[in-house]
Every structure is written in C-alpha cells, then in structure tokens.
Structure 1
Amino acid sequence: MMSEIKKVDYIYVVDSNGTPLMPTSRLGMVRRWLKTGQAKWFGNSRNTIQFVRPVTTNTQELTLGVDAGFHLGLSVVGNNREYYVSESLRKSEKDRITSRRESRRTRRNCLRYRKARFDNRRRKDSWLAPSIQYRLDFTIKEIKRLYMFLPITNLVFEVTPFDNQKLLNPDIQDWQYQKGKMYGFKTIKDYLLARDNYRDALDGKQYPASQLRVHHLVQRKDGGSNQPDNLVLLSDINHNQANHNNGILAKLRENRQKTLDYRGAYFMNILATRLSNYFDNYTITQGYLTANLRQKYEIEKSHLNDAFVIAGGTDTTLRTNNVYSRQKLRNNNRVLQKFYDAKYIDSRDGKKKTGKELSSGRTRRSRELNYTNLRQFRKEKVKKGRVSIRRGHYQLRPHDVVLNTRTNRIETVKGVQNSGTVIKFQTGKTCSIKSVVSLYHVNGILEKKMENI
C-alpha cells in the first residue's frame, strides 16, 4: 500500500534559452534567485522560473503518462519521484458552435448583397467534426505544453481502439456490421415510425407522420447524440415548451432504458489513429494493464492515479503536491446582447416565475394547435424584462487574479461593471479598477491547484 509520507512541492526551471531543466524543491533558493535578479517568472506562469544567467543543463530521464479521454490525466515520473500531475477538461463545444452559427447568420442577413457561392467546396481527407477536432487539438496542446518546462524523454499513452458495434452486441457476426438498426430506412424518422408504430411516447396514441416530431431524450447541448436509442416520437400537442419546463419530458428520459454513450469510444478511436501525426516516439499501453498495476499497489481509481501508474509510478514513488485541475474557457464571448426575462407572480402557487415558464406554448405560427396556454396564470408583473448590450472589450476577465491595493489582498475577478470602471470579486465585494493590479491572466485556461489529493 502507498505509504502516507509527505508530498513535495516543486518549482519548474528553464534556462536562459528556454531549455527545460530538472524541477527543484528548494523553494528558499527560488525566492533568493528571484529577489537577486538571477531568475524571473517564465511567461504568465507562477510555478516556473527562467534563469537569466548561464547554468548547467544536467537532466534525468522523465516519463510522461497520458490517460486519454474526455478527462485528460497527465503525470510525469522519474528517479522514483512524481514531478507533475494534472487533470484537464474541455466541455462540449455544442453550445459555442451553435452561438457562432447564429452570429454568423445574423451578420450575413444584414448584407444588402452577398456574392453567390458555388457548390464546389470539398472537405479534406483528414476532416473531423468541429467538436471532435477541438477536443483532439486540446489534448495534443496539453501534452506538448509540458515539454516547455519539463525535460521529458519518454511518452506513454493509454489508448485502445473500440469496436462500437461490439459494445452494443458482443455476439455480432461479420455480415451484421453492414446491416445495423437503420438498415433499409432512408431517414431516422422513418426508422422511428416503424419502431414505435406511429405512437407518441407520452400518451401512447397513434398520430399521422406529419404530426409527429423527433425528440432527443438527452438534449444535444447536454451531450445527447442522434443515435436512435436517444430519440423518441412526440406529437405536436405534447412536444411543447410547457413539457420541457415542467419536467414531464425529463421523467420520460429517466423511465427509458439508458443507452450507451459512443462519444468517448469514437474519440479514442480517432486519437489512436492520429497520434503518429503529432509524436514521433511514444509507447502504447492497455487499460487492463493499468488496472492490474493500480490494484497491485492499492491505489484508488482516478484519472490522476491512472496517469501516475501509466508513467511508471509505484507504491514507493514519492508523490508531489503539484496537482492541478485545468479547464478550457472561451477566450471571447461573441454574444454582445443578453436578454433578461420579465418575472410574474404565478396565480396557482403565488411564486415568481419567468415569462418563459408561463408562455403560451405555441411553437408554430402557421397553424393553431391545442397547446397548453400558461399565460393565463400570469397574475402581475413584478420585474420588467430588459436587454443588456456590451459596448466595450475589457482587459480583466472572470477568474483573473488581481491585487486589491486598498485592502492589500489578492482577489479573484468575477466580472466588470459600470462600463469597465468597477471590478466585482468572487467574494461579492466591488472595487474601482484604478485600485487593482493584475497579477495573473487566465488566458483561456482556468488552472487551480488541487488540495487534499
């Protein structure tokens, strides 16, 4: 079992040319180097220093272990010590891609005349869906980032291609790969009509195909897919805003059988086939080998510990306190206008609710259907709706670290108010922008040091 010994804090070191050196745990020496001008902070980092004077460049072999997936685990081990460990996360790009598409269409619709385009555009052979491409680029960038301040000599990946069809049917035959669920159907809706016999998933009644809509049990913005197992048919009467808000459709999702999530398996397949495009020398290991070693050393299951074992860590390896959680944030918010809904008193229970929650339920103007009209329960308006327009781009962003010169305390920024003249901190307090000094800019990545790991 892993011994309960103290963990070590490290500061990473590069020479004057930017070549990575071995990390140091002599924090007192680091303070003296910075104070006397022999070293400086490296870039925007506060855990890496760069010497400004010549130094020796003796290094040892370090191994980087990569536990690939939606949660990316990274660990650097060498000389029976762990020098770095982190878990990186990039959330789904669905909402951001939708926002970008809406902004693009709005911009193009404002043009008086748009030059005609011809249908002669072709995708490259290496084209990937944007959500997968962004996640692949993020994974590669996070791995290559460590080479900037650590002298890594070995790279070990845990990636295994998956057979998606076999995950669904372990006894699948060779000829069945070409004849899946939708074999013989032109569209997904045709398959669903045949599967559900033209019946609504809520009331069980039969409707004409023109009155049935395809509904995602798990919405696309929440990670749902277009797989038939995640789709049901709902009539125009039941597929309305009220059922989305009151939780009826959420209960329908809970009552249905849970389906397999193929997104992670698909990403692992892509990563396994494209590693050679980014790295020349690397080693592949398997998940069952990592699990056996983790159980042998009695180490708990986590992305951080998996990466530690992949890098060659054992129960005698000295662990580090340099444990980081990294999350990708958007650099720019394209939405310049925000709408804040009005609020009303619901006559049924006397609670405050938004106008969206007490809407008419109508989704089509072309024809009237028997929608559930909730506007009749609006008793009185307690708050007007408003539109807020951002008219400037401000230097300080959420999660930036600043020094409040009035209180001499380090604060984290929550947002900017009053046209950029007032800073709001995450503690809820505010301060003039003239009274703060910027210490650390997030720059698209929110990095936090994890405690009690």
Structure 2
Amino acid sequence: MFVLDKHGTPLQPCHAARARELLNKGRAVVHRHTPFVIRLKDRAAATSQVEGVEVGIDPGSKHTGIAVFTARGGQRRGRYSIQLNHRGALIGKKMAQRAAYRRGRRSRNLRYRAPRFDNRARPQGWLAPSLKHRVDTTVSWMDRLARWAPVQAVHVERVAFDTHLLSAGRPLEGVEYQQGTLHGYEAREYLLAKWRRACAYCGAQNVPLNIDHIHPRSNGGSDRVSNLTLACIPCNQAKSNRPVAEFLAAKPKVLARVLAQAKAPLRDAAAVNTTRWVLWRALDQRLPTHTTSGGRTKWNRTLAGLPKSHTLDALCVGKLDTIGQVVGRVLVAGCAGRGTHARTRTDTHGFPRLRMPRTKTFFGYQTGDLVRAVVPMGKNKGTHTGRVAVRATGKFDITTGHGTAQGIHHRHLRLLQRADGYAYTTHTERTPTP
C-alpha cells in the first residue's frame, strides 16, 4: 500500500496488514480509495528512512503494464501492479464519425459552410489524438505514482517490435540486446503476435510452432518478416521446401488468407513505434528513464519462468538477475473519460435530437464517481461497489466488476472517491507455470 507522511510526502510502501494496523490504531487516515493510499498523522519524511522504489512500464497499443518494485542487488520484488486499458480505438472511431458527419452536412442540400483548410497546419511533433491519448494517460499515471511513492527511476520498454531490424534482416549497430543469446527474439515475438500464436496453415494452438518461409529460401525466398509465418511441426514437415501455392492448392481460402495476412502490417506495433520516443522524452523530463527492448523483456520473463502478461512484462523490463516477488492482485484502470460538454445526442445523420440535462450533478453525485451502495432489500439487495451513472429521478445505476445494478436509490449510496476519468477493477495475476 502507498503511504504518505503528515505533510503529503511519499514514504516507502508497506504491506496491507501494516496499513490496516495503522488505520485501526488511529495513526493513519485514508488518503485515497483506489489506488489505496494512507496518510500518517504522526510522522514526517525527515524522520523516516526511505529506500525508494522503481517503476517498470510495458507500453502497448491497447494495454500498458505498470509495475512498482524495489531493486536490491539485481533482485526485484514487486510492490504494486497496474494494467492501464487505453481507449485509442474508441477515440479513432469518434474522430472518423465526426468527420463523416461534417462531410455529410456539406454534401446535402443544406446551408453551406465552405471547407476550411488554411487553419489546419500541424505543429512539429504532432500525434493523432488516438496516439496522443496513449502517451498522455501513461505519463499521467507516472505523475500519480510519483506523488504516492518515492520513485527513483523508470524503466520503459522502448518498442515492442523493432521493425527496422525485422525489415533489414541484419543486426543494427550499437544495440546490445540483438547480440548473443537474445538474437532473434524480436522477430519471433512479432510473428507470434501477428499470427495470433497459431499455425498459419491448420490453426493449431498451444503447440510448438516453427518459423516457416512462405516462399522457400531454396527457391529464392528472403528472410524478410513479410515472408515468414508460423507453422506447427506436422505442417512444417509436410510443406518442406514447396511453395505455399503448391502446398495449399486444395485449400484456396486458406491460401488467400495466408498471403493477405503476410503482407498486412501489425497495427499495434505501428502505434507503439509512433509513440515510443514521445513517451520516453516525457518520462525522462520527470525522472531518470532507462530504455530497453521487447526482446530483452521476453528474455528476462523466460528466465524467471513467468507467464505472459502486461504487468509481468513491466516487472521484467530492463536489466535484472532474478524476480523475488510477484504481486498477486492487479489493479485494472480502464480509461472511461470525464464525460462530454455536449448536451445533446445526435441521430444517424449528425443532427441533434436528444436533449441532455443542463447539470451533471444530482443529489451530490456525478456520473463516474466511485460509490458503495448497501441495499437492505429488493432485487438489488446486497453491497455494490463501482462507478455510478446518475439520473435526475434519484435512482442510479452502479457498474461493478460483476455487472450493472440498475435503479438503486441515492439514499443507499456512500461516496468513496470522486470521478477521475477511470473505471477500476481488479484481477488475480497469473501464477508462474510449473
């Protein structure tokens, strides 16, 4: 648990049992509900010995893993894990929808507004809103953690897949992770993600997969990643050095799918590559930031015997010897937004139809607040903890990790935390495979 002194300065995180003891004795108060932060009433940072923590970040297109850990002599012990769920796809969809509305209004027989292009110049370093969202949310959580814990350094995965190396087919100069036993991890991880960890020819999963050349090398095929795929051992042996068109002659649909997917780029890799340096610069302005590669992360995770997950990858980012402790519960922070300024809803043609209330607060609550409702009777009898959706009638909806409870009266609610733009749930970290 995160701990602050009486002045709000972060101290060394403590165990949940220790935080419970401090609260029961009246020596601390709850500073924040999620993530759980306590503030001591009788201690200042000047009288406490603070060892400090470090943060590992595994950036991704849809999810970003964040791990808070202590490092002693090359051994890392996890203290807190967060999985940040982005909404970049939703932002891209909304931007495309808005553009379609505007184009439609211009093309119909309506009051005409000329297209405006002169004021659309993009500044240096411009990122698309869906990509900028990924950087902003990650940096925002880094700022939050720096307020709650004595963060000394940040370790961030520079990029999930080095597309320059994959297309060049040769190691880049001056990059240590591409030498020795780590060589080839980038290409294999890229192919596993692109072909969804399944055989391209028969679709077999959870079996050993070999890297296969779509156009055989014996017939002039190259080692470029666009000519590589994954094949199970039986398919790889059956195909041998035959061209894929000959091997899949009896399966024209599978042949068309394999050829199309081989040329298709990996969108998630492109999103991570686009934001990698912007994220690094933003983090390095705040704290000392060390970068590493996705191949190095996978190598560390394999040596530690840990399964694949975003938070475990964040724990394995950078140089380390061993993993001494893994956090059992992971906080999942989903980007839910803070609502909208628009007080109308549009129809399919982009015209305003549904009128929204002029105010966002009803009976002291606002949509997105974290609340706990204790309902004594009725169909919603029980305790419900989650995000609330307010109604002018006073009967609210509460979304929890198990679903949505509708029509709960406001008198049964107790406010836990004001809306901060995120929806919180937890899940159990996958245990290491035996």
The answer on 1:436 being equivalent to 2:425 is no
The answer on 1:450 being equivalent to 2:420 is no
| Alignment size in residue pairs | 315
Gaps of 5+ in 2: 171-253
Of 8, 16, 33 in structure 1, the residue corresponding to residue 22 of structure 2 is: 33
Distance across 1 between alignment mates of 2:416 and 2:344: 27
Match of 2:65 in 1: 73
- Quickly say closer, same or farther: Cα 1:311–1:322, change in 2 above 3 A: farther
* Mapping 1:303-382, distance limit 5 Å: 303-310=310-317, 317-333=324-340, 334=342, 336-337=344-345
Query: What is the one-letter code of the residue matched to 1:48?
Result: V
- Quickly say closer, same or farther: Cα 1:413–1:304, change in 2 above 3 A: closer
* Offset, 1:103: 8.6
Distance across 2 between alignment mates of 1:83 and 1:300: 18
- Quickly say closer, same or farther: Cα 1:129–1:388, change in 2 above 3 A: closer
Look up the SS of the partner of 1:317 in the other structure.
Answer: strand
Q: Is the 8 A contact 1:14 1:51 kept in 2?
A: yes
Match of 1:214 in 2: none
Match of 1:424 in 2: 397
Distance across 1 between alignment mates of 2:119 and 2:397: 50
Match of 1:178 in 2: none
Distance across 2 between alignment mates of 1:415 and 1:265: 36
- Quickly say closer, same or farther: Cα 1:141–1:315, change in 2 above 3 A: same
Distance across 2 between alignment mates of 1:404 and 1:99: 40
Query: What is the one-letter code of the residue matched to 1:82?
Result: G
Q: Which structure has the greater CA radius of gyration?
A: 1
- Quickly say closer, same or farther: Cα 1:255–1:274, change in 2 above 3 A: closer
Match of 2:126 in 1: 127
Look up the SS of the partner of 1:288 in the other structure.
Answer: helix
Look up the SS of the partner of 2:337 in the other structure.
Answer: coil
The answer on 1:285 being equivalent to 2:285 is no
* Offset, 1:123: 2.9
Distance across 1 between alignment mates of 2:278 and 2:414: 46
Look up the SS of the partner of 1:268 in the other structure.
Answer: helix
- Quickly say closer, same or farther: Cα 1:146–1:107, change in 2 above 3 A: farther
* Offset, 1:114: 9.5
The answer on 1:85 being equivalent to 2:81 is yes
Match of 1:379 in 2: none
* Offset, 1:338: 6.4
Of 258, 265, 272 in structure 2, the residue corresponding to residue 260 of structure 1 is: 265
- Quickly say closer, same or farther: Cα 1:107–1:415, change in 2 above 3 A: farther
Which piece of structure 1 moves more, 407-416 or 433-442? 407-416
Q: Is the 8 A contact 2:58 2:66 kept in 1?
A: yes
* Offset, 1:34: 3.0
Q: Is the 8 A contact 1:421 1:432 kept in 2?
A: yes
Query: What is the one-letter code of the residue matched to 2:7?
Result: N
* Offset, 1:58: 1.0
Match of 2:42 in 1: 53
Look up the SS of the partner of 2:9 in the other structure.
Answer: coil
Distance across 1 between alignment mates of 2:101 and 2:40: 46
Match of 2:370 in 1: 400
Which piece of structure 1 moves more, 123-132 or 99-108? 99-108
* Offset, 1:332: 0.7
Distance across 2 between alignment mates of 1:273 and 1:116: 31
Identity rate of aligned residues, in percent?
Answer: 21
Match of 2:356 in 1: 390
* Offset, 1:95: 2.6
Distance across 1 between alignment mates of 2:81 and 2:121: 41
Look up the SS of the partner of 1:127 in the other structure.
Answer: coil
Q: Is the 8 A contact 1:398 1:415 kept in 2?
A: yes
Distance across 1 between alignment mates of 2:100 and 2:94: 10
The answer on 1:154 being equivalent to 2:153 is yes
Q: Deviations over 1:237-271 (max 9, x none)?
A: xxxxxxxxxxxxxx9x9798221124533432432
Q: Is the 8 A contact 1:403 1:439 kept in 2?
A: no
Greater strand share, structure number: 2
Q: Is the 8 A contact 1:65 1:75 kept in 2?
A: yes
Q: Deviations over 1:309-351 (max 9, x none)?
A: 12666655022234211111121144633669xxxxxxxxxxx
* Offset, 1:76: 1.9
Q: TM-score, normalised by structure 1?
A: 0.58
- Quickly say closer, same or farther: Cα 1:101–1:115, change in 2 above 3 A: closer
Q: TM-score, normalised by structure 2?
A: 0.60
Distance across 2 between alignment mates of 1:167 and 1:300: 25
- Quickly say closer, same or farther: Cα 1:46–1:36, change in 2 above 3 A: farther
Distance across 2 between alignment mates of 1:16 and 1:156: 29
Match of 2:241 in 1: none
Match of 2:195 in 1: none
Query: What is the one-letter code of the residue matched to 1:139?
Result: T
Distance across 1 between alignment mates of 2:278 and 2:16: 42
* Offset, 1:410: 3.5
* Mapping 1:223-262, distance limit 5 Å: 257-258=260-261, 259-262=264-267
The answer on 1:42 being equivalent to 2:31 is yes
Query: What is the one-letter code of the residue matched to 1:390?
Result: M
Distance across 2 between alignment mates of 1:431 and 1:120: 48
Look up the SS of the partner of 1:325 in the other structure.
Answer: strand
Q: Is the 8 A contact 1:63 1:153 kept in 2?
A: yes
Match of 1:137 in 2: 136
* Offset, 1:141: 1.5
Query: What is the one-letter code of the residue matched to 1:272?
Result: W
